[in-house]
Amino acid sequence: MMMKETIAEAEKALLHTYNRYQLVLERGEGVWLYDMEGKRYLDFVAGIAVFALGYHYQDFDDALKAQIDKILHTSNYYYNLPAIEAAKSLKRISGMDRVFFTNSGAEAVEGAVKTARKYAYRKDGRTDHEIVAMNRSFHGRTMGALSVTGTPKYREAFEPMIGHIRFADLNDIESVKAQINERTCAVILETVQGEGGIYPANEDFLKELRGICEERDILLILDEIQCGMGRTGYYYAWQKYGVKPDIMTTAKALGGGVAVGAFLMTEKTAQRSLEAGDHGTTYGGNPFAAAAVAKMIELFEKNDILRHVREISAYFEKELDGLAGKYDFIRERRGSGLMQGLDCAGPVIGRAMDKGLLLINAGPSVIRLLPPLIITREHVDEMIRILDESLRETIA
């Protein structure tokens, strides 16, 4: 079967919740993907910030295969070795104290929200606590995560949300203060907003917010699902500013392609929030997913991925700025490390795809670039060449 027919079959079987690109991807190698007809693409999407180490990283694949031969799943009523290893590794790279593994990012956000509510409940026994979230934010598609997602069109048809959520603007501390009151139990934000259009939280905002939360015993929840795991040149983007959250979420690149997420918290938060029986999951932290996490972190450390990201992202930013300077209709380049956006309208992404470069959008008008963290200068050059050509044809 050819790709076109395969896509027609897919559209008869899968629920149509995505307007997908007309592409059936079959295999990957390093930073390259191949469709079912053998055409090669340079991948600047990485499965949406998932494939940090690229495709077919041999050591990683070997570790997964070895775990398959031992055991895939136990149950959280027992301990398993990979989960212990993964939790210890996550504590080491994040500086947080306690880990709960989930199967996805949205579930990690659910856990973070429940933790915040329980923390406040244990203080005063009330059940009307509020959470402040950000406009333009994205935290996932389950009801709790959706409730703190600041894009009304994602929420509208599914109202009522969990309730008691107020929205403020990222990087506008006065707007946050205006939404805080004596019932506020948490403030949640992405350290770098992803889906909403690549907007990094700035240092002063984060520091002031940390101060306000400290003063009022409000929990600061940082969603690091997209910007975490080395993407900004730090394991977690907040580490650049030293603004430590009380609760943090991580997923996407955490399992390098295996479905896994986690929410982490400080010891103080853990001691005063969730207790035995309060939260659970069948699959979360299963030996297979946990083996992936442990191996990812081991490979990050062994290969000093953070140093590589810091080096290559300086070049990446410089080259993107060059493009932004060349075309009037690119309004801005924004981002941090290997999480970048070009604010620009036009059908550029489809053109680039035809020419063998994969990109995605963020929000209505931003081209989002999320390459595997192992890219080299040659890959950046090739991306710039194709993107430049696509932009030129867009204005022609």
Ligand X SMILES: *Cc1c(COP(=O)(O)O)cnc(C)c1O
Fill in the per-residue mask, 273 to 292: x = in contact with ligand X (CB under 6 A), - = not in contact: --------------------
The piece of 81-89, 121-129, 188-196, 292-300 that touches ligand X (CB under 6 A) is 188-196
Report the sign of the C-alpha dihedral through residues 235, 236, 241, 245, in that order.
negative
Q: How far is the CB of 223 from ligand X (least distance, A)?
A: 5
Among 226, 250, 336, 390, binds ligand X (CB under 6 A): 226
The piece of 4-12, 103-111, 170-178, 376-384 that touches ligand X (CB under 6 A) is 103-111
Q: Which is nearer to ligand X, 196 or 287 (CB)?
A: 196
Q: How far is the CB of 275 from ligand X (least distance, A)?
A: 25
Does residue 110 touch ligand X according to CB under 6 A? Answer: no
Residues 128-147 that bind ligand X (CB under 6 A): 138-140
Q: Which is nearer to ligand X, 330 or 363 (CB)?
A: 363
Q: What is the DSSP string of 236-274?
A: SGGGGTT---SEEEE-GGGGTTS--EEEEE-HHHHHTS-
- 3-state per-residue secondary structure call for 40-61: EEEECCHHHHCCCCCECCHHHH
**122 bridge partner residues:** none
Relative orientation angle of helices 58-70 and 287-302, to the nearest 10 degrees: 150
The piece of 12-20, 221-229, 311-319, 336-344 that touches ligand X (CB under 6 A) is 221-229
| Buried/exposed 6-32: b ≥16 CB within 10 Å, e otherwise | ebeeeeeeeeeeeeeeebbeeebebbb
Q: How far is the CB of 66 from ligand X (least distance, A)?
A: 25
Fill in the per-residue mask, 10 to 49: x = in contact with ligand X (CB under 6 A), - = not in contact: ----------------------------------------
Q: Which is nearer to ligand X, 372 or 380 (CB)?
A: 372
When CB distances to ligand X are compared, the closest residue is 105
| Nearest residue to 234 via CA among 308, 334, 298, 342 | 308
Q: How far is the CB of 5 from ligand X (least distance, A)?
A: 29
Q: Which residue has the tokens 């910007």?
A: 227
Fill in the per-residue mask, 194 to 213: x = in contact with ligand X (CB under 6 A), - = not in contact: xx------------------
Give the number of residues in contact with ligand X, rule: CB under 6 A. 16
Among 43, 110, 190, 246, binds ligand X (CB under 6 A): 190
E-strand ranges in the chain read 25-29, 32-35, 40-43, 98-102, 130-134, 165-168, 184-190, 192-193, 199-200, 219-223, 247-250, 261-265, 330-336, 339-344, 357-358, 360-362, 366-369
Q: Which is nearer to ligand X, 67 or 226 (CB)?
A: 226
The piece of 23-31, 98-106, 201-209, 283-291 that touches ligand X (CB under 6 A) is 98-106
Report d(CA 258, CA 21) in Å as an integer. 23
Rounded to the nearest 5 percent, the helix, strand and coil shares of the chain are 45, 20, 35
Q: Which chain residues interact with ligand X by CB under 6 A?
A: 104-106, 109, 138-140, 190, 194-195, 223, 225-226, 251-252, 261
